[in-house]
Structure 1
């Protein structure tokens, strides 16, 4: 049990001190504070530090509101009708709150880019005057005066999502007085259309948005306050919803999350109830199994719920606030939809030191024009990209590093300015930026230029997407893929969002349908699927199919002709399953059903290449939990021999294949706690 302030009513999860471990932020209703509780990374927590808020703080969210790569806190203050912003210093400390007026009795807050300017805005549900406030952000952590919209009821919770598929964020509000949910469609400029209301089974305390039935349209789930149910309303894709279907929760629910704690790729519903944690496992078609409740020895009145991997085992855990005994409980997930209550414990107050560079992505290119492949590696913890110049024998010169934005997550290499020298593109997740580092041709880089990448960028790729002979850039962000067309001089046009599915995690650019135009393929970690967008040759795209099922939690995707039929196939690294999935292409952007092959524990990347020199493509999979690389030799017909396991660097996260020593055989470079090189040899 984590001890907090008096009457905790809301909890948020995020890395508040930059140590790579998830922390908690908890609002304490009766003593007008927010508690910051540092996580140790094993599911336990250090002692809280409290910060003053306004009167009777109700809801808290953790977001980077000023674009500095450090999480900030936003708190709604029920007692004085304000929303407070506490800017984070990145070390777990926060500035004094700055407040902005809201409507009467604000209950809930959410953040998102409502006007498409790449800056986070705030929405606040105001319970007493039946409104929602919209406060547009300036990108520096400050906000314009509120504009209010009628919600059709007394809202107690608000959530954001693209409910009608137009690429603009919309609002859903649980109306706390009537058995209704209010939907306000966004116009894309920060204004909202009038509310439409839909009936629910009961007065609702909280709302969640997710694609519950796998049709790529967002649905709604609402916690019913008085009849111990959850109402599910399936979306039609145009911003309207089917009639609600109610499911029993076993006790009065106060908070709800739509997530996949069972790891089967189907959204489940998790509710904080008076009786404990109620879990309804989803069937993937919009229906749910009967609830299972995990009871707590703690007092009742569970007001809030937040999800995250709190102990670093790759499985979803939950934190639940208890207002009657001033604590937060931690429930550690087993990865199959079941949970264990974490042992109650006292905590200290230390902040763990940094974990070192922590490389998470690598790219290969001839960075100094000597004809020998070099490596570029992004290091998440110290916010750098590292360059290792190859000697041509599989060894590398001393490491050089360049500063990039906070939380760099992926790197790609290519000649972006047409000078014949290799440049680097890096996406930084904590600052929502794309950094371009222009190569001097000698292995050094200068002239860094930064672009807004969109919210939560996770992957980057380069290719000529509009057929003008210049490299363009594609970046996965929370809402899809941003395409930035290159001007040929190193500058990029404004990003254009290609809506794939929410929260894509990796992108590749390949011609999947054989028409000579590059297409976009993305993996969706949280929805266990791939999406293929076919290129028109002008930088715009159309969807080939709704989605292609993969294994659980596909981290990355790679392409190659795995069965020798002249059509590109796909392979994914499926983290939760410990497999690599192979999907054979039909040549039109569609794929056969996946065939999984065993890999190691927590596979994090997959690369395709002829590793044994027999003319048939093979797979190499890096396994982050057992510090290995799995090699699966291809038979040339799309099937693969069982894995051969090789020891690698600790926390092996990214692998690339290249002939690093000039012997004509592909070698592997693996980034993890450092970089390891495995030299290939021809099998007898």
Structure 2
């Protein structure tokens, strides 16, 4: 059911006028217009519900939530959806037990739960996931991060998966979070980075309180207390989740693909073994444009890491030099959560966004092209509007097909009783869209984006795909201890678009790490094929370009991880294309009209 087409019938005049304010024109096309999203998860057959097991004990394990993945597991041309789930650790076993879930896209806007038939009904305490064809057999595999042993599912190519974790040697047993595949050594197969969070044992989980005076309810009178060490008739104790500072960081892990279905742990020799990271978000990108994959890791209350690939099997952390460590005014590192690279100002250089805790801004870094970044958090319009929210999933994506990448942010608090220590905060929060105005600035327009953006949920991961193959980007959101949201893009504009799928031959089969540049009358745009991004999530690997008014692309340039560069002239827009390494562009399938 679609609601956006009738939005003006149901809202008062002031709300209608707010849509008009979003509409503007640039040389490349319409920015904004009627940008509208409808929530369609249940109506389209998605009945998954996330379970974190909370029953009031306030186990720290319950706070991060879980991610999800868009990927075409059956190679039928549309994006299927995989949800990572957690479980009950309190001893009150859920019946039936909560499991991860795979929903097959039926190609008509609906989904079918194929979890059991596909063999991916993992029952662990899950957090994140990433996708990559690690054995180059033409079928996308999926890696799941857990508290406990991680899981690698091999795609058998017949609609089923096999757990090959033990044989592959990638069963890290720590508290793992973000993960991502990349071909760091450019040998044609995918290697795997796994971010780990903190050293944690359920039986050693500390008890934390906020203590307030019975006579003074001001927030500056509240102090955190670890353990119940005192009693006073003048004080009120509020049980809350503990903070990251109550735990030691866990070292990250990096696996090199041996090319035979197995991996070797090369964490130490590669230089990626951050011992104190408290890592959450992880994303690979060639930020310095030298042809190899670099790595950014968002850390929670410890400095973020930007690992520059030295092209000799090793990395060096250049975050301080690059200016992306992310510290507050007091010099204390921020709480890095989700992260993404994208060229928001279309200058040919990949910029960086990192989400953070409430009262700290989401950080936007503009790539200067010389190995450094400039902090544009507040000058861009992103900073002030992100302060009230606790942010997680994030991505650069062109929601209105204007030719400029907008930003989506998923929000939600960790404490269901957050108001006892921050009265102005909320547990369930509104997610946000920042509209790119085409002048290196953004406008927060969430209230003008239709009913799907008016929802208030406890959101965590956000992943992006054109699931209905109509040429615009839709959004899937994992909500902690709730059902997910599927925000269908029903925006009304006449802008054009292009979507490109990459298939490697010498490079890895998915083409992960491939950079595609297009040139139109509106300027230049770049995209990279990625595994893992946002927060604990996997986006559709197909590359989406909004074209604005342009019906024709003057040039498409594809730079593969192998080093091969291919150029194609006068490519028509409004197409799904497949770029096969060394073989050119072909039509992948026909766009759908609903």
Match of 2:489 in 1: 333
Match of 2:134 in 1: 65
Is the 8 Å Cα contact of residues 88 and 95 (structure 1) preserved in structure 2?
yes
Is the 8 Å Cα contact of residues 557 and 570 (structure 1) preserved in structure 2?
yes
The question of 1:239 aligning with 2:393 is answered no
The question of 1:323 aligning with 2:480 is answered yes
1:45–1:87 distance in 2 versus 1, CA, 3 Å: same
Give runs of aligned pairs for residues 286-301 of structure 1, distance below 5 A: 286-293=440-447, 300-301=457-458
Match of 1:220 in 2: 352
The question of 1:138 aligning with 2:174 is answered no
Residue 222 of structure 1: CA displacement? 1.0
The question of 1:4 aligning with 2:74 is answered no
Residues 101-135 of structure 1: CA distance to partner in whole angstroms, max 9, x if unpaired?
A: 54742111011111111111111111123543211
Match of 2:411 in 1: 273
Larger radius of gyration: 1
1:174–1:286 distance in 2 versus 1, CA, 3 Å: farther
Residue 299 of structure 1: CA displacement? 7.0
Instruction: Provide the C-alpha distance between the structure 1 equivalents of 2:314 and 2:279, rounded to a whole number of angstroms.
Output: 18
Residues 548-568 of structure 1: CA distance to partner in whole angstroms, max 9, x if unpaired?
A: x9827849769xxxxxxxxxx
Match of 2:550 in 1: 551
Give runs of aligned pairs for residues 406-485 of structure 1, distance below 5 A: 429=502, 432-433=504-505, 452-454=506-508, 456=510, 478-479=514-515
Gaps of 5+ in 2: 1-41, 52-64, 88-96, 199-248, 329-333, 413-428, 518-524, 530-541, 558-567, 579-586
The question of 1:157 aligning with 2:281 is answered yes
Instruction: Provide the C-alpha distance between the structure 2 equivalents of 1:570 and 1:6, rounded to a whole number of angstroms.
Output: 46
Residues 471-502 of structure 1: CA distance to partner in whole angstroms, max 9, x if unpaired?
A: xxxxx982359xxxxxxxxxxxxxxxxxx954
Match of 1:96 in 2: 163
Instruction: Provide the C-alpha distance between the structure 2 equivalents of 1:305 and 1:282, rounded to a whole number of angstroms.
Output: 19
Instruction: Provide the C-alpha distance between the structure 2 equivalents of 1:298 and 1:17, rounded to a whole number of angstroms.
Output: 32
Instruction: Provide the C-alpha distance between the structure 2 equivalents of 1:86 and 1:302, rounded to a whole number of angstroms.
Output: 26
Gaps of 5+ in 1: 339-408, 411-427, 434-451, 458-475, 482-499, 505-523, 530-548, 559-568, 576-601, 606-620, 628-684
1:106–1:454 distance in 2 versus 1, CA, 3 Å: closer
The question of 1:310 aligning with 2:467 is answered yes
Is the 8 Å Cα contact of residues 14 and 23 (structure 1) preserved in structure 2?
yes
The question of 1:120 aligning with 2:190 is answered yes
Match of 2:395 in 1: 257
1:299–1:135 distance in 2 versus 1, CA, 3 Å: same
Q: Which structure exhibits the higher relative contact order, with contacts defined as CA atoms closer than 8 Å and separated by 6 or more residues?
A: 2
1:622–1:550 distance in 2 versus 1, CA, 3 Å: farther
Residues 616-668 of structure 1: CA distance to partner in whole angstroms, max 9, x if unpaired?
A: xxxxx9995599xxxxxxxxxxxxxxxxxxxxxxxxxxxxxxxxxxxxxxxxx
Is the 8 Å Cα contact of residues 212 and 286 (structure 1) preserved in structure 2?
yes
Instruction: Provide the C-alpha distance between the structure 1 equivalents of 2:251 and 2:132, rounded to a whole number of angstroms.
Output: 23
1:235–1:41 distance in 2 versus 1, CA, 3 Å: same
1:175–1:557 distance in 2 versus 1, CA, 3 Å: closer
Instruction: Provide the C-alpha distance between the structure 2 equivalents of 1:153 and 1:313, rounded to a whole number of angstroms.
Output: 41
Instruction: Provide the C-alpha distance between the structure 2 equivalents of 1:26 and 1:273, rounded to a whole number of angstroms.
Output: 18
Is the 8 Å Cα contact of residues 116 and 188 (structure 1) preserved in structure 2?
no
SS in 2 for 1:9: coil
Is the 8 Å Cα contact of residues 4 and 48 (structure 1) preserved in structure 2?
no
Is the 8 Å Cα contact of residues 13 and 306 (structure 1) preserved in structure 2?
yes
1:623–1:28 distance in 2 versus 1, CA, 3 Å: closer
1:214–1:229 distance in 2 versus 1, CA, 3 Å: same
Instruction: Provide the C-alpha distance between the structure 1 equivalents of 2:472 and 2:372, rounded to a whole number of angstroms.
Output: 33
1:164–1:205 distance in 2 versus 1, CA, 3 Å: same
Instruction: Determine which of 309, 316, 319 is the counterpart of 1:186.
Output: 309
Instruction: Provide the C-alpha distance between the structure 2 equivalents of 1:622 and 1:142, rounded to a whole number of angstroms.
Output: 32
SS in 2 for 1:314: coil
Instruction: Determine which of 156, 175, 199 is the counterpart of 2:326.
Output: 199
Normalised by the size of structure 1, how large is the TM-score? 0.51
Instruction: Provide the C-alpha distance between the structure 1 equivalents of 2:439 and 2:173, rounded to a whole number of angstroms.
Output: 38
Instruction: Provide the C-alpha distance between the structure 2 equivalents of 1:84 and 1:139, rounded to a whole number of angstroms.
Output: 19
1:47–1:624 distance in 2 versus 1, CA, 3 Å: closer
Give runs of aligned pairs for residues 506-525 of structure 1, distance below 5 A: none
Instruction: Provide the C-alpha distance between the structure 2 equivalents of 1:159 and 1:113, rounded to a whole number of angstroms.
Output: 13
Q: Which has the higher strand share?
A: 1
Residue 165 of structure 1: CA displacement? 1.6
Is the 8 Å Cα contact of residues 132 and 142 (structure 2) preserved in structure 1?
yes
Residue 455 of structure 1: CA displacement? 5.2
Residues 579-635 of structure 1: CA distance to partner in whole angstroms, max 9, x if unpaired?
A: xxxxxxxxxxxxxxxxxxxxxxx5979xxxxxxxxxxxxxxx9995599xxxxxxxx
1:286–1:173 distance in 2 versus 1, CA, 3 Å: farther
- What is the RMSD computed on CA atoms of the aligned residues? 3.9
1:162–1:285 distance in 2 versus 1, CA, 3 Å: farther
Aligned residues: 393
SS in 2 for 1:38: strand
Residue 18 of structure 1: CA displacement? 2.4
Instruction: Provide the C-alpha distance between the structure 1 equivalents of 2:179 and 2:556, rounded to a whole number of angstroms.
Output: 35
Residue 149 of structure 1: CA displacement? 2.2
Is the 8 Å Cα contact of residues 116 and 189 (structure 1) preserved in structure 2?
no
